[in-house]
Amino acid sequence: MKNTKYYFAHDYEAAADPKILCMLSEYGGEGYGLYWRLIELLHKETNNVLAHNKFLVLALSKQMVMEEEKVKAFIGDCINKYELFNENEMDRVLL
């Protein structure tokens, strides 16, 4: 195991989860990479909360070399369609 404060344990069988499988069927490996990037970002934030706004979408689209609309749709689908993330009344994405 890597000795760093930036390490966190995670499920090595995430791709077997039915929700992830549904996401993979639509977004493929690109979506899986984006999903794990979101998990990494959530992990480093206080209370595992990210602001769900245009800046998150823009930053992720640049980092992941994806179109902004695709990132925006992906986040929305992960919240509403696949139920991988939750969104509360303060317009935040929660793990």
Within a domain: 8: no
Show the domain range for 86.
16-94
C-alpha dihedral, 71 to 73 to 74 to 79, nearest 10°: 130
Within a domain: 39: yes
* Longest Cα–Cα distance in the chain: 38
Within a domain: 31: yes
In this predicted structure, the answer to whether residue 6 has a pLDDT above a threshold of 50 is yes
Within a domain: 7: no
pLDDT of residue 89: 43
Structural domains counted in the chain: 1
Within a domain: 40: yes
pLDDT of residue 92: 52
Within a domain: 4: no
pLDDT of residue 1: 47
Q: How confident is the model at residue 7 (pLDDT cuts 50, 70, 90)?
A: low
Rounded to 5°, the CA angle 51-71-33 comes to 100
The dihedral region occupied by 28, where left means phi > 0, alpha psi between -120 and 50, and beta the remainder, is left
More confident: 66 or 5: 66
For 24-78, what is each residue's pLDDT tens digit?
999 999 999 999 999 888 888 878 888 888 999 999 999 999 999 999 999 999 9
In one-letter notation, the amino acid at residue 6 is Y
Within a domain: 9: no
